[in-house]
Amino acid sequence: MKTRVIIQARMGSARLRGKSLMPVAGKPLIRWVVESAAQLHFADEVCVATTSLQEDDPVVAVAESLGVLTARGSATDVLKRFVEASSDMDETDTVIRLTGDNPLNDPIRSEKLFEQHVDNGNDYTHIDGLSHIVAEFISVRALRDAYNSSALSLFDREHVTPWFRKNRDRFQVQTLPAGFEGLRSDLDSYLTVDTGEDLHRMEELMQELNLEPGKIDFEKVYQWLDKNVHHRKNGKGAPVVWLKGTPVGEANPPYVVAEIGQNHNGDMRNAKRLIDMAVRCGASAVKFQKRDIASELSKEAFDKPYDNPNSFGKTYGEHRMFLEFDEHEHLELKEYADAVGITYFCTPCDVPSLELLERIGTPFYKVASRDLTNIPLLEALGKTGKPVILSTGMAGLAEIDTALEALQMDLSNIILLQCTSQYPCALENVNLKAIETLKERYGTVTGLSDHTSGVIVAAASTLMGASMIEKHVTLDRTMKGTDQPGSLEESGLFKLMDYIRAIELAKGDGIKEILEVTKASREKLERSLTSRMDIPMGTVISEEHLTLKSPGTGLKWSERSQVVGKQAAVEIKKDTTLLMEMVLEPENKSQLQNETP
């Protein structure tokens, strides 16, 4: 059996164009990836697969200079590129998939994953959530089978491996846990290069630890990230909850959740358009809802006629069924969100829904206000060990106490959201001050689930200590659906994000000091000691000789002792800003001049 590393790389990255050739600690990024791949001793060959576009000629040139194979193909059909790059391989051979933005690959953990792949006869083997330091393994037969499928979407062709994860009934897929062999999934997002900030951090990491491919101690890498990322972002004593590698807490920018809920109206295309909208606006995450209707509704409730303009079925049960996505669809949405660079998570409304969401690897969960008394669900959520966000729109402190007791979780994994379950919520019922109440009572990260119309309340909540803001979003407020009218369209979400960023900048650090940016204004507008009258040379200066006038480039009134009682060293004309060189100690300190000029 032959194994070939295939590294997908291109210059036209959407988030950091040209990153493949950007220098990191003295080497182009793509060279780091190739040299790391060469440390996978179980791999027979390394191939860089890029596009046929002229802009990617330099990628090929660097790869060839490093003595590895190259392949070129479609810019958008990356799956086809992989198939063509493995066209000379047998179906029983294995492709090791790496991407050109992950310069640090762990050969030890990758080899252990490879052993699982071979020993279990897998078609596809990967780390849950896709590690940035451990490879994916795909059989050549599975690659070709996927490529020839008529059901393959453009998304699947571009992102290569989601198709296998969505079709476990068709392929032998093994998913190893995110913590496989001590992997730190909470730090994994800091081990890739997607942005300029990532590039700077990676270079700092490589230089400080003197990293070289094949000589990387990943425990020391984790320690460095703990010190330079976790500790830096935790603030001083402020609670922090880490959501898929992102710190949420007062020392960090507000975490904004675009609540899609069921505003997709049961249409996957709408759901993906809403995800894209959230990405364009700069939201941190998108949230969906999942219900198991059999667990949710009694037969009477299911069969109840539901005849209104927002109904998608003749009965309430049919209406709810229409709006539900199944496991395959939720996995597809999670994969889609991951691919476009935003976090997917979900509100499970019952234990079967939670079990479904666990199977697809949902990173953390939200509890709806109505389920704060759903003890079986809360107990099941607590057992996942994943962060939980609690909305409190129908609860007082007693109900919150009971919910936290049922979760049996460390408070460092819980976020409490002030909420009022009124749709839309009247301003007088919002109670932003409750954010501080929750924080003081429970010591948790707090935020706001906002149901008011507009964006003012959500933006203002950041000044009241909200570290997370959740807001419903829609493609069009006139669409069918009960939540659509009170949701934000794209322009509204853009406005909210702009306001939040502006407020975050304006909040400052609380240290009251003179800023350098005020220097010009101070010099122009402040006042200095100025001669009230002509002062002949030799005159002993008194306060009667002085006044205050702009500009502020001279001595201040508080510094007048430096000139009062001194002699004028020169003739000082009226309205002259006094400087120290204009005065000197009097010749006879015991004799004061009694004449008034």
Q: Please give the DSSP secondary-structure letter assigned to residue 28.
A: E
Whole-angstrom distance, CA of residue 52 vs CA of residue 286: 34
Mean pLDDT of the chain: 93
pLDDT digits (tens, 9 = 90+) for 64-112: 999 999 999 999 999 999 999 999 999 999 999 999 999 999 999 999 9
Angle at 450 between CA 334 and CA 420, to 5 degrees: 120
Q: Given pLDDT bands bounded at 50, 70 and 90, which one contains residue 597?
A: very low
- Secondary structure (3-state) at 210: coil
Whole-angstrom distance, CA of residue 364 vs CA of residue 388: 6
Longest dimension (CA), the chain: 110
Residue 595 pLDDT > 80, yes or no?
A: no
Mean pLDDT of 434-461: 96
Phi, psi of 581 (to 5 degrees): -70, -10
For 68-72, 465-469, 478-482, which range has the lowest pLDDT when averaged over its residues?
478-482
First to last CA, the chain: 106
Cβ–Cβ under 8 Å, residues 566 and 582 = no
- Secondary structure (3-state) at 281: helix
Instruction: Return the higher-pLDDT residue of 12 and 407.
Output: 407
Please name each of the domains of the chain with its CATH number: 3-201 (3.90.550.10), 241-295+326-507 (3.20.20.70), 518-584 (3.90.1210.10)
Q: Please give the DSSP secondary-structure letter assigned to residue 539.
A: P
Residue 592 pLDDT > 50, yes or no?
A: no
Whole-angstrom distance, CA of residue 452 vs CA of residue 447: 15
Nearest in space to 135 (alpha carbons), one of 102, 179, 86, 172:
102
pLDDT digits (tens, 9 = 90+) for 187-212: 898 999 988 999 999 999 999 999 99
Q: Given pLDDT bands bounded at 50, 70 and 90, which one contains residue 230?
A: low
Percentage of residues in the chain having pLDDT higher than 70:
97
As beta bridge partners, residue 468 has 255, 447
Cβ–Cβ under 8 Å, residues 483 and 261 = yes
Mind giving me the DSSP string for 418-447? Answer: EE---SSPPGGGT-THHHHHHHHHH--EEE
Q: Where are the alpha helices (DSSP H) in 137-185?
A: 140-147, 154-159, 162-166
Q: Where are the alpha helices (DSSP H) in 341-463?
A: 351-359, 375-384, 397-407, 433-442, 456-461
pLDDT digits (tens, 9 = 90+) for 343-399: 999 999 999 999 999 999 999 999 999 999 999 999 999 999 999 999 999 999 999
